[in-house]
Amino acid sequence: MKDRVIVITGASAGIGAALARLVSSKGARVVLVARREEALRTVASSCAGETLVIAADVTVRADVERARDAAMARFGRIDVWVNNAGRGISRMPSELTDADLDEMFLVNVKSALYGMQAVLPHLEARGDGQVINVSSLLGRVPMATFRSAYSAAKHALNALTASTRCEVRSRAPGVHVTSVHPGIVATEFGSNALHGGVDSRTMPGAQTADEVAQVLADAIEHPRADVYTRPEAQGMIVRYYAAEDMGAAETQPPFFSARRPGA
């Protein structure tokens, strides 16, 4: 971790801020990217080592490329790029509008594509480095019907991540492309969701952002393809896909949650 240059999008709050503080405490140089510059500066001031703050909207490709260029100008290299910025939604499938879907795919899928396309040529030219895309358990299983469009977007992100990994592996086997799948995390994610929603910090069983940051840091120190922030999550997903009757499985906890939390 020492001296590695790690770019983290969505670093002004939640998981991204926790990761910035953690990897910085381990000696990394951290590039913090998000829209709210003041919040980024507050996070940077709580980091132990060298930081660079870049105010950028990751749904704008030119902003993402500007963030890459600023990181390269300052540090001369990028070792790890974490596409962590993302947003939820609270709407049933029957209620979704075109604008809802566009927003979910823009902030959760296109933003990560912009990040990967911006940094991978640099990593591939060097022959090492890593991209991490922060996905979700909802990118694997339909555990929350009211997050349907978010779940669809994270499924798409997982597909894009896996296909990118296969493409990059043939040209640059030393470059890693990783998906990380948190469950519920106690951040402002719930209250920031499109159309509002319950604060994730009040939801039972939530992991802390610091716990998730530990898993992300471990995925940087020991790169692998697919990582769950809870050890039991992978088995649960395997059970769902292996179920003889997937429809029946969906009617049982933990897969079925048609109601919005609190509704």
**Where along the sequence are the contacts to ligand NAP (CB under 6 A)?**
9-16, 34-36, 39, 57-59, 84-87, 107, 134, 136, 182, 184-185, 187-189, 192, 200
Per the DSSP assignment, residues forming a β-bridge with 228 are 181
Helices (H), the chain: 14-25, 37-45, 61-75, 98-105, 111-126, 148-171, 189-192, 209-221, 233-242, 246-250
Residues 184 and 245: their CA atoms lie apart, in Å, by 26
Indicate if 240 belongs to the active site. Answer: no
Closest approach of Cβ 124 to ligand NAP, in Å?
Answer: 24
Q: What SS3 class is residue 11?
A: coil
Q: How far is the CB of 224 from ligand NAP (least distance, A)?
A: 18
Of 35 and 126, which CB lies nearer to ligand NAP in the complex structure? 35
Name the β-bridge partners of 8: 32, 82
Q: Which residues contact 167 (CB under 8 A, 6 or more apart)?
A: none
- Of the residues 114, 150, 228, 240, which is catalytic? 150
184 DSSP 8-state letter: S
* Nearest residue to 97 (alpha-carbon basis) of 239, 5, 194, 164: 194
Q: Determine contact, residues 152/104, Cβ cutoff 8 Å.
A: yes
**8 is written with which tokens?**
């983290």
Least distance from ligand NAP to the Cβ atom of residue 249, Å: 21
Least distance (Å) from ligand NAP to the CB of residue 45? Answer: 15
Measured from the CB of residue 180, what is the shortest distance to ligand NAP in angstroms?
9
Instruction: Give the list of residues 6+ apart from residue 12 with CB closer than 8 angstroms, or none.
Output: 32, 34, 35, 36, 39, 40, 43
Task: State which residue, 156 or 172, has the beta carbon closest to ligand NAP.
Answer: 156
In angstroms, give the least distance from the CB of 102 to ligand NAP. 13
Which residue's CB is nearer to ligand NAP, number 25 or number 42? 42
Pick 104 or 172: Cβ nearer ligand NAP: 104
Output the CA–CA distances (angstroms, integers) from residue 214 to 68, 205, 219, in the order listed.
Answer: 25, 17, 9
Closest to ligand NAP by CB, 158 vs 172, is 158
Q: Of 171, 188, 165, give the one whose Cα is nearest residue 39.
A: 188
Of 12 and 130, the one with the shorter C-beta distance to ligand NAP is 12
Active-site residue numbers? 150
